[in-house]
């Protein structure tokens, strides 16, 4: 599936992940042809690639699957006993990562759980993936929610601080955290804290650029200047250059 996702350009991505497809997934859940657990894994995967490729899955918001997940989130959150917070967090990651419009109720349910997972410092691949998906969802709220007001800046700061010491995030997850931190209009870069993070950001950027530079054959790029990169390697290099 990763190979297929990597092959997709913008038009293909949007045509595949249409409202019709999400409705079909919902129908398969209703008919018990697809478990909710497997549907969640699929949707998180789509949400990850949507963020990585900076594409949109426009069909999700109006789909029957979107409405089902939103209802499940609200119902689970309102339980007085035996609330499954891990299920709720996964539903939030699916819904938020694939949406572009969030009600205050959805944000109030999801943000605390997303922050909990984003602040997870466990040293395991599964934990790192959860952090990454939580950051994707949080970043999507910031991009699409009008009343930001330094939403979870302190928490994002803690995530960056921890990663600077332990380097336990993937490049993409670290980029998501930095994107929000650096792009926050209300951050005062003249303060002691601002200068501290500014210096770290500069070093991180240099390190990242050096590593990304080694992933692209720049000599070939010069030769085919003006021509579109072809094949899987060309698409992969395009994503790297975008980063």
- 3-state DSSP assignment of residue 17: coil
Examine the pLDDT at 38 and tell me if it is beyond 60.
yes
Residue 151 scores a pLDDT above 80: no
> What DSSP state is assigned to residue 185?
T
Specify whether the CB–CB gap between 29 and 77 falls below 8 A.
no
The pLDDT value given to residue 21: 92
Tokens found for residue 76? 């689970």
Model confidence at 185: pLDDT above 70: no
Q: How confident is the model at residue 170 (pLDDT cuts 50, 70, 90)?
A: confident
Closest CA to 126 of 74, 168, 174, 64: 168
In angstroms, the first-to-last Cα distance of the chain is 22
3-state secondary structure of 184: coil
How far is the C-alpha of 22 from the C-alpha of 65, rounded, in Å?
A: 6
Per-residue pLDDT at 29 exceeds 90: yes
Interatomic CA distance for residues 65 and 39, integer angstroms: 10
The CA distance from 134 to 117, in Å, is: 6
Q: Is the pLDDT of residue 147 over 60?
A: no
Q: Is the pLDDT of residue 36 over 90?
A: yes
Mean of the per-residue pLDDT values for the chain? 79
Better-predicted residue by pLDDT, 148 or 154: 154
Give pLDDT tens digits for 79-115. Answer: 988 889 999 999 999 999 998 888 888 988 998 999 8
Alpha helices in 78-191 (DSSP H): 85-98, 104-118, 125-144, 153-166, 171-183
For residue 193, what pLDDT band results from cuts at 50, 70 and 90?
Answer: low
| pLDDT tops 70 at residue 236 | no
| Choice among 104-113, 139-148, 180-189 with the minimum mean pLDDT | 180-189
**pLDDT tier at 239, thresholds 50, 70, 90:** low
Q: Is the pLDDT of residue 230 over 60?
A: no
pLDDT at 218: 67
Query: 131-160: b or e for each residue (b if 16 or more CB lie within 10 Å)?
Result: bbbbbbbbbbbbeebeebeebbbebbebbb
């Amino acid at each position: 599936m990763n190979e297929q996702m990597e092959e997709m350009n913008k038009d293909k991505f949007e045509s595949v992940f249409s409202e019709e497809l999400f409705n079909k997934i919902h129908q398969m859940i209703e008919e018990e042809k697809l478990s909710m657990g497997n549907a969640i894994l699929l949707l998180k995967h789509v949400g990850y690639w949507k963020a990585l490729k900076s594409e949109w899955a426009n069909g999700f918001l109006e789909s029957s699957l979107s409405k089902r997940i939103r209802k499940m989130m609200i119902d689970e959150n309102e339980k007085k006993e035996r609330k499954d917070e891990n299920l709720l967090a996964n539903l939030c990651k699916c819904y938020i990562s694939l949406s572009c419009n969030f009600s205050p109720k959805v944000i109030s349910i999801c943000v605390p759980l997303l922050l909990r997972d984003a602040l997870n410092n466990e040293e395991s691949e599964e934990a790192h993936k959860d952090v990454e998906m939580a950051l994707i969802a949080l970043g999507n709220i910031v991009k699409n929610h009008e009343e930001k007001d330094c939403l979870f800046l302190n928490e994002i700061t803690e995530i960056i601080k921890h990663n600077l010491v332990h380097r336990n995030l993937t490049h993409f997850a670290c980029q998501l955290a930095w994107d929000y931190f650096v792009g926050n209009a209300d951050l005062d870069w003249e303060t002691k804290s601002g200068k501290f993070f500014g210096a770290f950001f500069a070093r991180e950027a240099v390190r990242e650029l050096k590593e990304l530079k080694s992933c692209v054959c720049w000599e070939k790029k010069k030769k085919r200047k003006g021509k579109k990169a072809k094949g899987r390697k060309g698409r992969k290099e395009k994503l790297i250059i975008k980063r």
